[in-house]
Structure 1
Amino acid sequence: MIDKLEFFIALAREQHFGRAAEACGVTQPTLSAGLKQLEDQLGVLLVNRGARYMGLTQEGERVLDWARRIVGDARAMRQEVRALRHGLSGHLRIAVIPTALAMVPILTTPYRERHPGVKFTVLSRTSIEILHLLEGLEIDAGLTYLDNEPLGRVRTVPLYREQYRLLISRDSPLGARAQVSWAEVGEIPLCLLTPDMQNRRIIDRLLAIAGATSAPTLESNSMIVLFSHVRTGKWASIMPEVLTTAFNFPEEIRAIPIVDPAAVHDIGLVVPYRDPMTPLTAALVAEAKKVARTFGEPMAP
């Protein structure tokens, strides 16, 4: 039955029979037959069918919740049995907001030293996408904001606090300042992340509180694009303090604290709310708790 539940989860995610079959590594007739058998076993129609996928029935939506729990528990069981026999191994999938990508090695490096049989996939995603991927069992963990927008049913491990800096040329009118206000920042051209990023929504809100309007001259969903423009000395941006210290900017670029209002947001690990956790996820949570201690006193969950 587990394989049929896997088919069902894939179809709900892909919303297309062909793509769902490809994701599961089976033919479309095999997937369709498996879904029909699942419906026969449960005695309800799960999928509205026509010439193409037309969504889940009301019963299908409820079964999807159970399917994710059952499949998640089955995966956890298989991982635990394998770990007991061969040690921790497998594939750990992590999705990360762009502003936290530079912090991923502080988790993955010590993890791999302790568990060399584990491989990693790290994806750059928005905070909303991370939650959807977690819910759909497409990733094992995420690194995202913990205190700004609803997270839903997940476990969290706070890692560090994000504070904001204006990255700007030393020769600019604000370049010699010890600190600047959000109102002042709102008066200069900026390059920022795109509006689908939570970091951008935070910045827009802080500028609005200060009576300013966000009107960037360049937007990107890539921090590398923003970094490369700031490094020219011709562009300014707003970035978390941890990034300004993690990357070596030229001496002519200053990272100036932004105040009035002072703003801090918690960044941390999110994993599915499941007990017991999979061995791979449990080991990652253990590493995250160690990392949190290196940033000072652990923050309240």
Structure 2
Amino acid sequence: MLFRQLEYLVALSRERHFARAAQACHVSQPALSEAVRKLEDELDVPLVLRGRKYEGLTPEGERIVVWAQRILADRDALTSEAGHLRTGLSGRLRIGSVPTASGTVALLTAPFCLAHPLVTVEVIGDLQSTDVLRQLRDFEIDAGITYLHEDLGEQYRTVPLYEERYVLLTDAADAPAHRTAATWAEAARLPLCLLTEAMQGRRVLDEVFTEAGVRPSPRVETDSVATLFAHVRTGRWASVVPHTWLHVFGVPHGMRAVPLVEPARAVPVGLVTVAREPGSVLARALREIAGQTDVAAALERLPED
């Protein structure tokens, strides 16, 4: 059994298409198909449902692909560990984040890259919270930044980073200068641009609106916090955004941002990794940086400060 065969099977499971899986692995489609067939012969179980086109994995294939992901992750962890012992930490760290938290990733990657100059970092900043956990389980990312909740279970390790609060972002002309806060009920009456309902960040907002006894009717929905700022910039919409994004953009000229109250809500956000030993040396190094970095304090400082 070769690592290459396992890589092909994992790619096929991910892409759900022979040609796309072959392209992702930089091989021809016949070569990938033959390697998977040889793996079936060696394991003596059918792995792929074959018809005129790819129809999915067999039940046996679904079980085997989990082992393949685990074996490949352990191989990569072993390679990173050996490199760390030889020349210092190197490789590629993959971080996935929910959109509401993606503006905070730099608070970890900056000290991480300073401490480990041979490591490159890939940040995927537009994942849904369920995608963050799935990609962690499937070893597609090394660490995730997402909302922390009790349902995470023992299979994950968490490092709390900060508590997400919410501000009402409006055109300055629509917000009296003396106002230092706004209620959720007041926000619901405005023409709103919000995150889509598929995003965990939006579901949090809907829970708070419900607690306040109101139901928003957003005219525009998006999966990008930057897009929320862009729409408020036009002067036609207001939005509810995490306070963390003020650390990135400040309060742009021509806009006002005030805390939302009645109720005041804060939701914990943190770094999540898979709880496996010995696990990824890159993930372990990022956890150490996260434990040493006061992200919450940094987020209180706006750019103009």
2:149 is equivalent to residue 143 of structure 1: no
CA distance in 2, matches of 1:199, 1:216: 15
**Matching of residue 45 in structure 1 with residue 49 in structure 2:** no
**Which deviates further from its counterpart, 208-217 or 47-56?**
208-217
User: Partners of 2:277 and 2:297 in 1: how far apart?
Assistant: 27
Deviation at 1:137, TM superposition (A): 2.3
- Secondary structure of 1:225's partner? helix
Do 1:156 and 1:271's aligned partners in 2 also have CA atoms closer than 8 Å?
Answer: yes
Tell me the secondary structure at the aligned position of residue 293 of structure 2: helix
Give the number of equivalent residue pairs.
296
8 Å CA contact 2:161, 2:271 repeated in 1: yes
Does the C-alpha gap of structure 1 residues 257 and 195 become closer, same or farther in structure 2, counting only changes over 3 Å? same
Distance 1:35 1:53 in 2: 13
3-state SS of 1:168 partner? strand
**1:155-180: CA deviations, max 9, x gaps?**
22111110111112344266643322
Deviations 1:177-225 (A, max 9, x none): 3322222221111111122211111112221232222211222222222
- State whether residues 175 and 256 of structure 2, in contact with CA within 8 Å, keep that contact through their aligned partners in structure 1: no
- Contact 1:155–1:271 under 8 Å retained in 2: yes
Matches of 2:15 and 2:206 in 1, distance apart? 33
1:128 to 127, 130, 146: 130
Instruction: Report the more deviating stretch, 234-243 or 248-257.
Output: 248-257
Segment of structure 1 superposing worse, 106-115 or 151-160: 151-160
Question: Which ranges of structure 2 fall in alignment gaps of 5 or more residues?
Answer: 299-305
Cα offset, 1:131, TM superposition = 2.2
**Alpha-carbon separation, structure 2, partners of 1:149 and 1:230:** 35
**Structure 2 letter corresponding to 1:34:** A
Unmatched runs of 5 consecutive residues or more in structure 1? 297-301
Closer/same/farther in 2, CA of residues 176 and 293 from structure 1, 3 Å limit: closer
Q: Which residue is 1:59 aligned to?
A: 60
Please say if residues 168 and 175 of structure 1, whose CA atoms lie closer than 8 Å, have aligned partners that are also in contact.
Answer: no
With normalisation by structure 1, the TM-score equals 0.90
1:9 touches 1:136 (CA, 8 Å); kept in 2? no
Residue type at the aligned position of 1:17:
F
**TM-score, normalised on structure 2?**
0.89
Match of 1:101 in 2: 102
**Residues 193 and 238 in structure 2, CA contact (< 8 A), matched pair in contact too:** yes
